[in-house]
Structure 1
């Protein structure tokens, strides 16, 4: 392997990604976690209400565990190592936070 090229763990081919999108009802998101010269790819679906409810319950007693629960329940493909390594979990959790806050609502007086 070229020293300028990173090893990509869990990355899907374009055909595999298209197949995953076809069988997954919600949008697919990719989190890339860089660890040295390795990039771990994790593909996620949007969390459903039950997942958010479970994460909220766990977060009351263990915030780090709630991140793992969220990642594990939303994962549809990609690197298993992210769910096993605490440092990788924390890095991925910071990115998945953006997913949860990506939808915006406004209130208007009509």
Structure 2
């Protein structure tokens, strides 16, 4: 009977450690994904992409604040950009954006 209790206690401790680790690192994972996507966009357009800050975490909508996309003389300024990505695709090492919300865009095409 003692081994059942010990096994149960060990299992509960493992779950607590896993949950704590997930809470600590989830913001960093979400920010890493957004940074990687922004870098890919910069290479794809052969231009420059910059932003002020990234807010949010892996389980919510990561938010990019003051996004600037510059390609030649054309410029796109976005006050806030919210993205939602597919976690299953992420596990396959692919970044798939399911939903993108753009707030206060300013597009300048010359």
Question: TM-score w.r.t. structure 2 length?
Answer: 0.29
Q: Which has the higher contact order (CA 8 A, sep 6+)?
A: 1
> Which structure would you say has the larger Rg?
2
The structure with more strand, counted as a fraction of residues: 2
